[in-house]
Amino acid sequence: MVNTLDFYNKLAREDIFDGQLFDLSGQSLNIQQIKSGWVTFENCTINCDQLTFTNIQDNQLILEFKNCTFNCNITFSNCNFDQLLFNNTQALKSLKIKKGLLDSGISQFNVFEFSNEINSKIELNTDFQITNTEIKEIFSFENINHIGGIFKFIKNIFGDKTKKTGHFDFTYSTLSNLFFSGNCFNEQITFKNNSFNFNLKSYKGYKNNYFYNNTFVKASFSSSNFIGKFEFKQCDFLSTIWFENCKNGTNSYVKFNACEFKGFSLFNNSSIDLLEIERCTFGKSSSFTDAEFNTLKLFEVKFGGGAYFDEMKINKVLDKSYLKDKSKILEWKRTLRAIKQELQKTENKIDFNTYRNYELAAHYKELSLFKNFKDTSILWATKWSSNFGNWVWSLGFTLFSGLFWYSILYRIENPGNYDPEKINAFFVGLFRFFLVTDFFNPLETDRVYLTNPLSWLIFIFGKIVIAFGIYEMIQSFRKFKA
């Protein structure tokens, strides 16, 4: 066990600390100089109030912590190291990296690593706050189970735009309560195979993981699990962005608000409960192929390079539950119309007609009979004759409605008791009734017209209904034609 003075003296003389306990409870340590070029703390425990490294400018310095327990808060202020490494950290109250209080510079590291062994069971309830820091070559945050505390990254710079030889990733980790703002990722950043969670009531008014005003050259969030709401606002994606194989179809809500996608955007094979894209611009093609959403919202989205929705599923559309809440019908119409327009651009006629019918169903649900009598009447007829594009429904409607009106006509023309021996004549007349261009009396073998005005009324109305059913059935088949 050592006191504060012993700690400073040891740090001035030694560069390897193994299995030592630094019990300085209630005290603060402020380190402003490290003489050795490589200092390692391994299997050490540090108990204090605050451990601060201030104004250490040594771009050859490697500071390494292995299997250490920090019952304290650690701060690096206005430091310039070669490498800052934390491996298998057992406990840590908080880690802050920031610029100095009185200057406009930033902290700089060539390499920053905070990682655990694969399948590590260590759980960290830690506040991570990295601000005004430049990581030049390697940033690795790997196999960390961050179950509590905040995770704040503000105004940091990652990588070099010209060299593009760095490696930057957050992988195989649980990351909680994220707030990323004003960061510039000059090289590809990877957020793969992570679980994102938000378990605070609120943080400075925010109630979800939040990325605001960040710039990404390339970024991948593939194979990650978004738990709760995750929002990107006013972020720029300068090249390809991957959101593929993200699997949480029960309680995930991913939102993009006022973002600009200048490269390819890939959401293939993902399963997300709610994906919302609002006032965003996509410069190159976007793909949602084989993706599955319970709810998808698109509002004022510009797909400059086209969007591909092949085999995409929107479960609330497929099970028609999107029609149940009339207050959200307008949102659904906008989304379905946007998808329909992109399908038309890519000449996907099959899915175009499918989403056209979904949109018509939503429009019909929205209309009022008294305010929109004409549109409501047309869509009502379309709904009952084809259920907005179902050819089987159209066939059934045509057959049963034709049989219904023909039966009425038959009884008017044959008011007496029904004669079973005339069953053959009944069906011969029914066949002629289905010939919409045959206006002769279907109950007579000769080519004569009906004479009863009521019979004519039923006859003409029945022909119109049959013709409309046939037309809707043809329309239902049109999506399979070039």
Distances (CA, A) of 329 to 114, 253, 317, 360, 464: 47, 19, 11, 11, 32
Indicate whether 278 and 359 sit together in one domain: yes
**Residue among 266, 271, 264, 256 nearest 224 (CA):** 271
Indicate whether 401 and 459 sit together in one domain: yes
* DSSP reduced 3-state for 107: strand
Query: Chain centroid to CA 254: how far?
Result: 4
Can you tell me the distance from the alpha carbon of 229 to that of 207, in angstroms, rounded to the nearest whole number?
A: 8
| Residue 419 belongs to a domain | yes
312 neighbors 348 (Cβ within 8 angstroms): no
What is the number of alpha carbons within 13 Å of residue 149 lying toward its C-beta? 21
* DSSP reduced 3-state for 156: coil
How open is the CA angle 461-466-472, to the nearest 5 degrees? 125
Cα dihedral across residues 348, 349, 350, 356: positive or negative: positive
| Residue 116 belongs to a domain | yes
Indicate whether 9 and 141 sit together in one domain: yes
| Token output for 140 | 């690795």
Can you tell me the distance from the alpha carbon of 187 to that of 163, in angstroms, rounded to the nearest whole number?
A: 9
E-assigned strand segments in 302-352: 302-303, 307-308, 313-314
* DSSP reduced 3-state for 183: coil
| Residue 271 belongs to a domain | yes
User: Domain ends where: 366, 393, 410?
Assistant: 366
Indicate whether 25 and 140 sit together in one domain: yes
Structural domain span for residue 229: 218-366
DSSP 7-26: HHHHHHH-SEEES-EEEEEE
| Residue 51 belongs to a domain | yes
| 3-state SS track over 253-275 | EEEEECCEECCCEECCCCEEEEE
Residue 381 confidence (pLDDT): 63
| Residue 76 belongs to a domain | yes
Indicate whether 439 and 409 sit together in one domain: yes
| Residue 213 belongs to a domain | no
| Residue 89 belongs to a domain | yes
What is the number of domains present in the chain?
Answer: 3
334 neighbors 326 (Cβ within 8 angstroms): no
Query: How many Cβ atoms are within 10 Å of 389's Cβ, its own excluded?
Result: 22
**Residue among 163, 237, 165, 227 nearest 194 (CA):** 227
Can you tell me the distance from the alpha carbon of 156 to that of 299, in angstroms, rounded to the nearest whole number?
A: 31
Indicate whether 25 and 118 sit together in one domain: yes
Q: By CB neighbour count within 10 A (0-12 exposed, 13-18 middle, 19+ buried), where does 199 fall? A: exposed
358 neighbors 335 (Cβ within 8 angstroms): no
Indicate whether 357 and 427 sit together in one domain: no
Indicate whether 152 and 44 sit together in one domain: yes
Indicate whether 354 and 414 sit together in one domain: no
User: Domain ends where: 346, 366, 386?
Assistant: 366
Indicate whether 192 and 334 sit together in one domain: no
pLDDT (tens, 9 = 90+) of the chain, 482 residues, equals 567 777 888 888 889 999 999 999 889 999 999 989 999 999 999 999 999 999 999 999 999 999 999 999 999 999 999 999 999 999 999 999 998 766 667 899 999 999 999 988 999 999 999 999 999 999 999 999 999 999 999 999 999 888 788 999 999 999 999 999 999 999 999 999 999 999 988 777 778 999 999 999 999 999 999 999 999 999 999 999 999 999 998 999 999 999 999 999 999 999 999 999 999 999 999 999 999 999 999 999 999 989 999 899 999 999 999 988 888 999 999 999 999 999 988 888 778 878 888 888 887 676 555 555 555 666 666 666 666 666 777 788 888 888 888 888 888 888 776 666 678 878 888 888 888 888 888 888 788 888 888 888 988 888 888 887 787 777 766 655 54
Indicate whether 181 and 262 sit together in one domain: no
Can you tell me the distance from the alpha carbon of 399 to that of 387, in angstroms, rounded to the nearest whole number?
A: 15
| Residue 211 belongs to a domain | no
How far apart are the two ends of the chain, measured CA to CA in Å? 83
Indicate whether 241 and 317 sit together in one domain: yes
Residue 417 confidence (pLDDT): 65
133 neighbors 98 (Cβ within 8 angstroms): yes
| Token output for 41 | 């703390």
Query: Chain centroid to CA 394: how far?
Result: 36
User: Domain ends where: 340, 366, 392?
Assistant: 366
